[in-house]
Structure 1
């Protein structure tokens, strides 16, 4: 039987397990993908604790699957699917499964993987890179403006810094000391996180893309004269709206996936996959992200 890494109840790492599951069958408008790689994101471990994305409601069925971005090869096609064939290399957001040997994906949330794009890099794009892309586009700052990115050393932050630079923006990246070299290697001006960080920001700021939330978001807002240039992927809408800003508006579509893949192929975006783990060590991959030790993106590679 295929294997998947799941959580069996809400709680801590003790609720996680690698289990045997039934091979899923694609329904109308879906494809079954043999997973080659899965991206690891902070939202994964947060969901294990009971966290809900904005707009989500209801209880999960257990065991519940980890993972919200995968790449792989089409194994089976559901009714009504056009534009994809068995054997096609694709990437996207899974409907069912993520850290698993097989995943179901809806055709409106997948894109063809360019040959020049590795499976590992492709698996970082559907959540982290697209979230970064959506946020920088939403700010819509003119060339030569300055955007400040909090959490600049994480998966979304690394992509946001590069996408902003590709759009001609000056980037100030807030991150810990261990990630200074990474932020600067991507063309950002590093600002050390921690108490008093706003006093270390050089010059003025035209926009803020917050990926941390909490006190960091509150402090970042003080740097702006125009709070409509404040967006967050790190806090709920009601929190940022009180500050005059907005939650990042996600665009979940095949076209958006293809646009981000093109940035990688053209050399404007390096997903910065810094560590890979086999499926059998998915728990270690998740701990690396949960404990804040990840530099760039962590990917689980699956061999069937």
Structure 2
């Protein structure tokens, strides 16, 4: 059997990606195979294609793109428990698989059941961005009433973090571009524009600084706000471990467990978390979906949908 998939054939730019027919994968130990209904698109997808992670995550090429997906279970690995053919699920793709395809392998330990009635397009965007936000907030361990700065609040992780933090009764300030103001304020957060003097602008709102920082930008943008945290150990970064360590913080420790996915999807089901799916593309237009994320113009989550 074969399937249609969106792959990259060598590391580099968009000229190296295309739709191909590939053999349908068989689930190995601790894996389930799903008929994909939707797959989330994330910045890590184009970074993988460009080779930024090739040393830590070597891949056999061609490789299917996409790190998260939702669909219907079609086969389970020999040691997998808790999933059966026909189950509607969502989760992280297995290391050898990708979500931009008609069929995909998910890691069973990082897969959860999708609540009935929840759209596949919503479930598909939870395992990467929303789960990263959840992990980061768990790591910070802030108590109700505390103040949180989300550095780069306008992206998928930041949008989820603001809502999860709001549910935990945290006061949230977020840095983003001015054109994200309406979005940020709709999340119950206070926007502070990026750029020179950003730390001073935060102190105008919170003169004593903040109790914790969730950084989603890294580099000089993190250095610019790190001094706002009263406790440097309460700084976590989702993508820049070197700078986080430099300022006294740490990288977000990703759990990648079904328990985290269950917690996140429960917030969605309760109406407390909206991942803001704003663009949906068919598989044949996966290149356009990835370009939307790569260009940084999307104001919410982008999804590839498979009919």
Task: Report the TM-score, using the length of structure 1 for normalisation.
Answer: 0.95
Aligned to 1:150: 151
The 2-side partners of 1:234 and 1:81 are apart by: 31
1:221 aligns to 2:248 (yes or no): no
Aligned to 1:16: 17
Please list, as runs of the form range in 1=range in 2, the aligned pairs for 1:185-196 lying within 5 A after superposition.
185-196=186-197
Please list, as runs of the form range in 1=range in 2, the aligned pairs for 1:170-209 lying within 5 A after superposition.
170-201=171-202, 202-203=205-206, 204-209=209-214
The 1-side partners of 2:143 and 2:89 are apart by: 33
- Cα–Cα, structure 1 residues 155 and 18, in superposed 2: closer, same or farther, change >3 Å? same
The 2-side partners of 1:65 and 1:196 are apart by: 42
1:35 aligns to 2:39 (yes or no): no
1:239 aligns to 2:243 (yes or no): yes
TM-superposed CA distance for 1:58, in Å, is 5.7
TM-superposed CA distance for 1:283, in Å, is 1.0
Is 2:175–2:194's contact at 8 Å kept on the other side of the alignment?
A: yes
**Residues 23-74 of structure 1: per-residue CA shift (max 9 Å, x gap):** 1111233211000010111111111111129xx6263211122111100001
Task: Report the TM-score, using the length of structure 2 for normalisation.
Answer: 0.94
Please list, as runs of the form range in 1=range in 2, the aligned pairs for 1:65-144 lying within 5 A after superposition.
65-95=64-94, 96-144=97-145
TM-superposed CA distance for 1:215, in Å, is 0.9
Is 1:117–1:261's contact at 8 Å kept on the other side of the alignment?
A: no
CA RMSD of aligned residues (A): 1.4
Q: Runs of 4 or more off by more than 4 Å in structure 1? A: none
The 2-side partners of 1:61 and 1:223 are apart by: 44
The DSSP-based 3-state class of the residue aligned with 2:23 is coil
The DSSP-based 3-state class of the residue aligned with 1:205 is coil
- Cα–Cα, structure 1 residues 192 and 43, in superposed 2: closer, same or farther, change >3 Å? same
The DSSP-based 3-state class of the residue aligned with 2:139 is helix
TM-superposed CA distance for 1:78, in Å, is 2.4
Aligned to 2:217: 212
The DSSP-based 3-state class of the residue aligned with 1:114 is coil
**Residues 67-115 of structure 1: per-residue CA shift (max 9 Å, x gap):** 1110000112222322211111000011112111100112211111001
Aligned to 1:26: 27
1:261 aligns to 2:239 (yes or no): no
The 2-side partners of 1:186 and 1:111 are apart by: 26
Q: Gaps (5+ residues) in structure 2?
A: none
TM-superposed CA distance for 1:7, in Å, is 1.1
The 2-side partners of 1:252 and 1:79 are apart by: 21
Is 1:134–1:250's contact at 8 Å kept on the other side of the alignment?
A: yes
The 1-side partners of 2:57 and 2:144 are apart by: 43
The DSSP-based 3-state class of the residue aligned with 1:2 is strand
Aligned length: 300
The DSSP-based 3-state class of the residue aligned with 1:267 is coil
